Structure 1
Amino acid sequence: MGFCAASAVAALHFRSWCLLYRRIGLFSSLSSPKRDLGDRKLEPPHYPVLSVVSVLLSKSKQWMSLSDALCRVGRASCAAIASRIWALLAGRGTGSAAAEMSYGSSSIASGAKTATRTFDFGRTHVVRPKGRHLATVVWLHGLGDNGASWSQLLETLPLPNIKWICPTAPTRPVAIFGGFPSTSWFDVTDLSEDGPDDVEGLDASAAHVANLLSTEPADIKLGVGGFSMGAATALYSATSCAHGTYGNGKPYPVNLSSVVGLSGWLPCARSLKSKLEGSQDAARRASSLPIFLCHGKDVGIGEIKVRNTVPYRRFDVGSVRSLKSKLEGSQDAARRASSLPIFLCHGKGDEVVLYKHGERSAQVLKSNRFDNVTFKTYNGLGHYTVPGEMDDVCKFLTATLGLDGSHS
């Protein structure tokens, strides 16, 4: 089949698909002013037209399953996917605002291969501070979006002392889309805390965030935030920071000073509860256990003579140090959790990530020693953001990142 014929077939496929979804209101969120995030315009990443034509022809049998999946996700996420597909066919790029990032060594670096999967992250977009650099915040986009779109919105915020880093998630098959590839921080089957957890994908994305922040100067305060799935990834980073390790047990390398989540949910809620409860139980048992020790002055260091027995029974001093580090680690985790400021926002009209999931996530965090969680409700707000919500985010970041007395 020649290029012209292939293009024609692809165009017919896309036109039929667009007509179908226009009837069910797929593009309403693109045309509605209240869903337009102010003046922000979505700028999809660049892909060659020939690649898109090839995908459309080879994946034609998957359109019906994709259609069902898109309907389940909701109009807002569908709009992001539709915007990307339209841009793919039009051959649009990301513009000149993108900045290529270099990555230092970390437990899971950009493009690294884990035991079973490889994660290739997209382009990272940076918004430089307009004033004196006091803080750096990594902001994570939602499912099907990219870093460029949010960088344009963040650049307009009245926060001149913050450097914004907006990475793009890997493009991977997503279960909730019936296996259709999309930018996604982790695989997901259900947009709530009740779905199965892709810990490997979450660890890779959280490590990517930490990797971006690890190169910042020591006197710069660090934060992470996001929207929808980006908010879920930000919260996973927050719990990893508090516990001191990723889900795979490797140490989390940076200290976060502020966390923001818009229209998101808490992944790995069940494992978080068991981890923190285990730490609390260990500290509680240690503090309440009565122990009576007797020791003779003539006994050498590191050995205890048990009466009427030969030889000496020795104890390992190293095991004492290990016990101390474990108990101190439990106390440190509880202390980090209780002091980490987290700001969660959710609209009651959200039909993609339901309001009850956002509310439940805040409750789980608070019940697990995250004492500095603020959950704010917005009546009538759907799965998008509005200026009033972003104003609240600005106030929170100003307070938690020490920007109150800053001078531009």
Structure 2
Amino acid sequence: MIRSLVKQTKRLTNRKSLVLSPQVHHLRTNAMSNNIVTIEATAKQTSTIIFLHGLGDTGHGWADSIKHIKPSDTKCMCPTAQVMPVSLNGGFPMPSWFDLYSLDTDSRVDEEGVKKATTYVHQLIANEEKAGIPANRIVLGGFSQGGALALYAGLSYPKPLAGILAFSCWLPKHEEVVSAIKNKDIPILQCHGDADPIVQHRLGQLTATVLSKKLTKHQFKTYRGMAHSSCNEELSDAKNFITTCLSN
């Protein structure tokens, strides 16, 4: 199953209609990831997007697509997770934000791994704040496992973010996270394909049901025929969402 997920995740880099040739550079870090693919703002920077890839991918997998939908005054950061053995894949090592045991709703959660990854994401956000970008000008997003981490980290950050993008994902330990939410007005765009064979659509629906009861600006959009991937319609919706979040 996970080998299929990795293959489908990496297909994102082959979307000919969306691939551009951004100028990127890599930032070395002593934190969780070995490097961050960074696409600088083409105008004076006033905001930042941090986007987290899916299992088995790297920051390069989404950099082109996010460049295509970001405003000109926005910097994009796509970090790469550390390589670790993944239990769901028989211990095979690959870039992963935390360990996965199953994708069932009642599966065991790598609590320590999720919290470690969350600390790393929170540090990225804090670093942007230190550089002069307020938390409410930072959009956090992710795909699949990266989307799960984006929801967890974004909803647990002590300051309100500009918004959260959650593609084809679920919320780990949703009861714990929802009970601890302090900012009920954070905008969230959650997107999912109804033909997703990896992270099934019902998992996205379950997360959406839980979040919509607590949050005032949560949207859940379904894309007909989309598998564990992305599409132009989804990215167009994401572009509009980012523009709205950063227009205030």
Normalised-by-shorter TM-score class? 0.7 to 0.9
> Deviation at 1:100?
1.5
Answering whether residue 205 of structure 2 is matched by residue 205 of structure 1, we say no
Structure 1, unmatched stretches of 5+, are 1-71, 83-95, 104-109, 111-119, 245-253, 277-332, 404-408
User: Does residue 1:258 correspond to 2:163, yes or no?
Assistant: yes
Partner of residue 360, structure 1: 206
What amino acid is the match of 1:373?
H
Change (3 A) 1:188 1:158: closer
CA contact (8 A) 2:81 2:97 kept: yes
Partner of 1:180 in structure 2?
Answer: 92
CA contact (8 A) 1:174 1:188 kept: yes
1:388 counterpart residue number: 233
Q: How does 1:111-150 map to 2 (within 5 A)?
A: 120-150=32-62
Distance of 2:232 and 2:133 partners within structure 1: 32
1:262·1:345 contact (CA, 8 Å) conserved in 2? yes
Does structure 1 retain, via aligned residues, the 8 Å contact 2:5–2:55? no
Counterpart CA distance in 2 for 1:169 and 1:270 is 25
Q: TM-score, normalised by structure 2?
A: 0.86
Higher strand fraction: Structure 1 or Structure 2?
Answer: 2
Aligned to 2:78: 166
Per-residue deviation at 1:215? 2.1
Pair 1:139–1:374, CA change in 2 (3 A)? same
Counterpart residue type for residue 377 of structure 1: T
AA aligned to 1:147 is G
Whole-angstrom distance in 2 between the partners of 1:386 and 1:218: 30
Cα deviation for residue 80 of structure 1 reads 5.1
Equivalent in the alignment of 1:77: 6
Q: What is residue 85 of structure 1 aligned with on the other side?
A: none
Q: Is the contact between residue 185 and residue 230 of structure 1 (CA under 8 Å) also seen in structure 2?
A: yes
**Higher helix fraction (1 or 2):** 1
The amino acid that maps onto 1:374 is Q
- 1:239 and 2:144 matched: no
**C-alpha distance in structure 1 between counterparts of 2:89 and 2:120, whole Å:** 24
Distance 1:256 1:192, change over 3 A: farther
The CA deviation at 1:256 is 1.5
> Quick check: 1:270 aligned with 2:200?
no
Pair 1:222-2:138 in alignment: yes
- What residue in structure 2 maps to residue 401 of structure 1? 246
Letter in 2 for 1:77: V
CA drift of 1:204 comes to 1.5
Q: CA deviation at 1:74?
A: 6.3
Equivalent in the alignment of 1:99: 26
TM-aligned CA distance change 1:272 to 1:214, over 3 Å: closer
Q: What TM-score, normalized by structure 1, do the two folds share?
A: 0.54
Preserved CA contact (<8 Å) 2:196 2:227? yes
Deviation at 1:192, TM superposition (A): 4.7
Specify the alignment match of 1:21 in structure 2. Answer: none
The answer as to whether partners of 2:160 and 2:186 remain within 8 angstroms in 1 is: no
Q: Structure 1 counterpart of 2:119, which letter?
A: A
Structure 2: distance between partners of 1:390 and 1:229: 18
The correspondence for 1:340, drawn from 167, 180, 186, is 186
Once residues 133 and 392 of structure 1 are traced to their aligned partners in structure 2, the CA distance between those partners, rounded to angstroms, is: 23
Tell me the secondary structure at the aligned position of residue 360 of structure 1: helix
Cα 1:192–1:262, aligned 2, differ >3 Å: closer, same or farther? farther
Q: 1:151 to 1:75 in 2, by over 3 A?
A: same
Give the number of equivalent residue pairs.
235
Q: Report the Cα offset of residue 255 of structure 1.
A: 3.6
> Take 1:228 and 1:158, find their aligned partners in 2: how far apart are those partners?
20
Match of 2:196 among 350, 361, 365: 350
Residues 220-277 of structure 1: CA deviation (Å, up to 9, x unaligned): 7112100000000001012212xx4xxxxxxxxx54121000000110123235x34x
1:284-315 C-alpha deviation (Å, 9 max, x unpaired): xxxxxxxxxxxxxxxxxxxxxxxxxxxxxxxx
What is the CA–CA distance in structure 1 between the aligned matches of 2:244 and 2:146, rounded to whole Å? 22
Give the CA deviation at 1:123: 1.1
Give the AA of the match of 1:207. T
Is contact 2:194–2:201 with CA below 8 Å preserved after alignment? yes
Shift of 1:165: 0.6
Letter matched to residue 347 of structure 1: G
Q: CA deviation at 1:186?
A: 0.6
Residue 365 (structure 1) shift: 1.2
**RMSD of aligned alpha carbons:** 2.4
Residue of structure 2 equivalent to 1:115: none
